[in-house]
Amino acid sequence: MSLDYSSLADVKQEHPIFLTDVSPTDKPWDEHKQQAETVVSMLQGIDDDYIQSIRHRMQLCAPWLVFAHTKPDERAKTFKLHKAEFCRVRACPICQWRRSMLYISKLMKAVPGILERYPSMRLIHLVLTVKNCHITELRDTIKEMNTAWKRLSQKKKFKKAVKGWVRSTEVSRNPETGEAHPHFHVMLFVPGYYFDSPEYYITHASWLEYWKDALRANYEPSIHIKAFRKNRGLENLVHEIAKYSTKPSDLTADADWLVAFLYQVRKLRFFATGGIVREVLGEIEKEYEDLIHTGNEETKDSEILAQSLFNWNIPINKYQHSKTVKNPNIPEIETPKKETSP
Ligand SMILES: [Zn+2]
């Protein structure tokens, strides 16, 4: 669909025009902002400074969006996010979604390059779990898992077989018991001969034993392993690794759980890299991240034909078109100022 920014700019709008009318593929904006609003409303009235600071930040997450209209780029895209402000709260459904897209893009750029440099390399998806814990034990549990991962990855057999890895932490909520289920998704890079040589190959039973030992666990933790042929299925694997760290529906299931969760994950890191992945990418998770372009090139001012401003319409739960300004008037579009803190 080609977007007619001229009509957006010229016509006096008698009916509201929504972001999804202009660009149906931008529907996730409405969904994630709605989820963020649900989280904000769940935190309302909770007498706690930290929780209120989070609520306030999330309330100011992406209240408006500026999109740029451009000539078709190499992917034939003509409509791109150009300006926005994000709260960067770990549990914010909008920021989680943007971060996930950014990490997927980083990995989809880096991994094929690594596989080209090391053509015999194969990928394995390893899922490592621990037994569910009470939400108030989540922080300690994740810390124990991180320590266990360190032990596992320093094991001789591991170092011999695994040349690089990306590890993400996901936390889900058991709907029946309300317990937290933290687990690791790991993408492992192993050389092709790993599968043919008992000297290198690590069986399911051995992985299980190593993980159990590393955890110092007195129970059998459950693990899953899946090997990939070359980079077939790479995109699915990358999505598994870089998807949200906690499903929005888990975050909004129960207010007490949500409050406890926010405290438990405060300042924890959820991504780590090692070996050849670390050499190429460094750490994936950064202090400041570009959640606007999420891995795509920034649009140059000279490429912009027009800009459109959309504001979040609270009763309707959609981003609504506010105005479109054609070039050369770019500097004239002013985004609404932030409200001051109450
Ligand atoms: Zn946010």
Tell me how far apart the alpha carbons of residues 70 and 75 are, in angstroms, rounded to a whole number.
12
How many alpha carbons fall within 13 Å on the CB side of residue 67? 25
Query: For residue 331, is it within any domain?
Result: no
Check whether residue 258 and residue 316 sit in a common domain: no
- What pTM was estimated for this model as a whole? 0.90
Q: What is the pLDDT of residue 342?
A: 44
Check whether residue 159 and residue 50 sit in a common domain: no
Query: For residue 274, is it within any domain?
Result: yes
For residue 37, the CA-to-ligand 1 centroid distance in Å is 10
Check whether residue 185 and residue 302 sit in a common domain: no
Among 3, 105, 37, 9, smallest CA distance to 325 is for 9
Q: What is the pLDDT of residue 1?
A: 43
Query: For residue 339, is it within any domain?
Result: no
Tell me how far apart the alpha carbons of residues 264 and 20 are, in angstroms, rounded to a whole number.
36
Q: Is the pLDDT of residue 27 over 50?
A: yes
CB contact at 8 A, 333 and 325: yes
Query: For residue 333, is it within any domain?
Result: no
216: left (phi over 0), alpha (psi -120 to 50) or beta: left
For residue 141, the CA-to-ligand 1 centroid distance in Å is 26
For residue 110, the CA-to-ligand 1 centroid distance in Å is 26
Backbone angles phi, psi at 60, to 5 degrees: -95, 15
Check whether residue 197 and residue 161 sit in a common domain: yes
pLDDT tens profile 272-291: 999 999 998 888 887 778 89
For residue 88, the CA-to-ligand 1 centroid distance in Å is 5
pLDDT tens profile 122-175: 999 999 999 999 999 999 999 999 999 999 999 999 999 999 999 999 999 999
Among 95, 268, 89, smallest CA distance to 180 is for 268
Q: What DSSP element (H or E) covers 228?
A: strand 223-228
Query: For residue 189, is it within any domain?
Result: yes
Check whether residue 144 and residue 163 sit in a common domain: yes
For residue 14, the CA-to-ligand 1 centroid distance in Å is 32
Q: What is the pLDDT of residue 332?
A: 64
Check whether residue 65 and residue 130 sit in a common domain: no
pLDDT tens profile 72-81: 888 888 899 9
Check whether residue 273 and residue 322 sit in a common domain: no
pLDDT class of 3 with cuts at 50, 70, 90: low
pLDDT class of 341 with cuts at 50, 70, 90: very low
Q: Print the domain residue range for 149.
A: 99-281
pLDDT tens profile 72-126: 888 888 899 999 999 999 889 999 999 999 999 999 999 999 999 999 899 999 9
Tell me how far apart the alpha carbons of residues 48 and 26 are, in angstroms, rounded to a whole number.
35
Quote the number of domains for the chain. Answer: 2
Query: For residue 146, is it within any domain?
Result: yes
For residue 87, the CA-to-ligand 1 centroid distance in Å is 4
Q: What is the pLDDT of residue 330?
A: 60
Q: Choose the weakest-confidence range: 12-16, 38-42, 132-136, 332-336.
A: 332-336
For residue 91, the CA-to-ligand 1 centroid distance in Å is 8
Separation of CA 331 from chain center: 31
Check whether residue 122 and residue 265 sit in a common domain: yes
Q: Is 173 helix (H, G, I), strand (E, B) or coil?
A: strand
For residue 310, the CA-to-ligand 1 centroid distance in Å is 17
Q: What is the pLDDT of residue 2?
A: 46
Q: What is the pLDDT of residue 23?
A: 93
Average pLDDT over residues 243-250: 91
Q: How far is CA 109 from CA 145, 220, 241, 280, in A?
A: 28, 37, 14, 10
For residue 266, the CA-to-ligand 1 centroid distance in Å is 15
277: left (phi over 0), alpha (psi -120 to 50) or beta: alpha
Q: What is the pLDDT of residue 8?
A: 81
- Residue 8 CB coordination number (10 Å): 20
Above pLDDT 90, what percent of the chain?
A: 73
For residue 224, the CA-to-ligand 1 centroid distance in Å is 32
Q: What DSSP element (H or E) covers 58?
A: helix 49-59
The per-residue pLDDT of the chain, averaged, comes to 90
For residue 146, the CA-to-ligand 1 centroid distance in Å is 26
Q: What is the pLDDT of residue 241?
A: 94
